[in-house]
Amino acid sequence: MRLDHPGFLFLLLLLPFLIWYLGQRNNGRIRFSDLSISRQLVPSFWVRSLPVLNFARFLVIVLMIFALARPQSSQSREQITSEGIDILLILDISGSMRAEDFQPDNRLHAAKAVIHDFLGDRKNDRIGLVVFAGESFTQCPLTLDYQVLGNLLLNIEIGMLEDGTAIGDALANATNRLRHSTAVSKIAILLTDGENNAGDIDPLIAAQAANALGIKVYTIGMGQEGGAPVPYRDPISGMWYSRERTYVDEKMLKQISEITDGRYFRATDNQKLAEIYKEINQLETTQIEVTEYIRYKELAAYPLIPATLLLILEIVLSNTRLRKIP
C-alpha cells in the first residue's frame, strides 16, 4: 500500500489541540442552590455515554485525514521478453575417455560434472545432448527441462556405442537437430579427446554445413599432452593400467571453430575445463528485457465509508439521546 498525498498526515499533529479544545468545551457546569440536590442525582446510561460523541468526532477526523492522503494498493506486472539460445552439447564417449588424467576420476566423469554445472547457469535456453563414439546418437533433443537433461547426462557411460571417434557424424547430427531452429543464436559445443577415425562424414564438411545454417561451433580438446593411465579390467588378473597417449587433432578442431566463427579451447585439467565452459557461458548470454507495469487501486473509500457512518451517528445522537443543554 502507498499514500499518494502523504503530506495530509501532518494534519494529525493538530489532534492534541483538538482534544484540548473539546476538553475545555465540556467543562461547563450547572449551578445548584443546594449541593445536597446534586448528591441525589444518579447519571443515566446516556449521560455516561456523552464522551462517546467526542471519540466519534475524533475518529471521524482521523479517518478523513487518511482519506485525504489517498491510500492506494499497487498491482505490478512484469512483461518479460527473452531471446533464447539453442545449444547442442556434443560429448565424446569413446574408450579413450576412460583415461584418468582428470583426477579424482576419468575424463568422461569430469566432463559430465562440468556440463552439469553449465546447465545450472543457463536460463530460457533450449539445450540438447548428442553423444558419439564410433557412431553418433541423440541422447536428448532440444529441451527446456534441464532436470531431465541432467538425468540423461548422468546415465551416459562408455561402451554405450561402438568404439571409435566419429567427430564428423556427431557434428552433422547436431547440425541436423538445429536445422529448423528459429532461435536468435544457435551454437554447438563439441568436446573430444581424440581425432576423427570413424563415421561417414568429414568433420570439415560438417562444419561448412553448420556454418551455412548459422550454427556457431565451440570445440574443446581434452587430455594432457604426455598421455594418461587408462584402466583395463581382465577377468583373470583383474584391474590394470596402461599409460597411453591420445592424440587430439587440434588442427582440425581449430578449423571447425574458424569455419563456424566459434573458438577452440584446450583443457588439460579439471580447473581448465570448468573455466572453458564458464567462458562459453559468458560469451553466449541470453538477452532478457523486462518491462514493469504498475496499476494503483484507490482505497480512500475504505476510511471514508466508516467516517461517514460515524458522522451520521454522531449527528443523530447529539440531537436526540445525547443532546446537551446549551
Read off the pLDDT of residues 163-182 as tens digits, 9 standing for 90 and up: 999 999 999 999 999 998 88
Q: Which residue has the higher pLDDT, 212 or 302?
A: 212
By residue count, the chain amounts to 326
Q: Which residue has the higher pLDDT, 14 or 49?
A: 14
Q: Which residue has the higher pLDDT, 159 or 69?
A: 159
pLDDT at 310: 77
Strands 228-234 vs 238-244: parallel, antiparallel or unpaired: antiparallel
Question: Taking the domains of the chain in order of start, what are their residue ranges?
Answer: 2-76+298-318, 85-285
Q: Cβ–Cβ contacts within 10 Å for residue 303, how many? A: 19
pLDDT at 134: 94
| Residue from 111, 107, 146, 106 nearest 125 by CA | 146
Going by pLDDT thresholds of 50, 70 and 90, the confidence category of residue 70 is confident
**Cα end-to-end distance, the chain, whole Å:** 45
**Percent of the chain having pLDDT more than 90?**
43
E strands present in the chain: 2-3, 71-83, 85-92, 126-132, 136-143, 185-192, 215-222, 228-234, 238-244, 264-267, 287-298
Lookup: cell for 305: 465509508
Read off the pLDDT of residues 252-303 as tens digits, 9 standing for 90 and up: 999 999 999 999 999 999 999 999 999 998 888 766 555 566 677 787 777 7
Reported pTM: 0.64
CATH 3.50.50.60 describes domain 85-285: no
Q: Is the pLDDT of residue 114 over 90?
A: yes
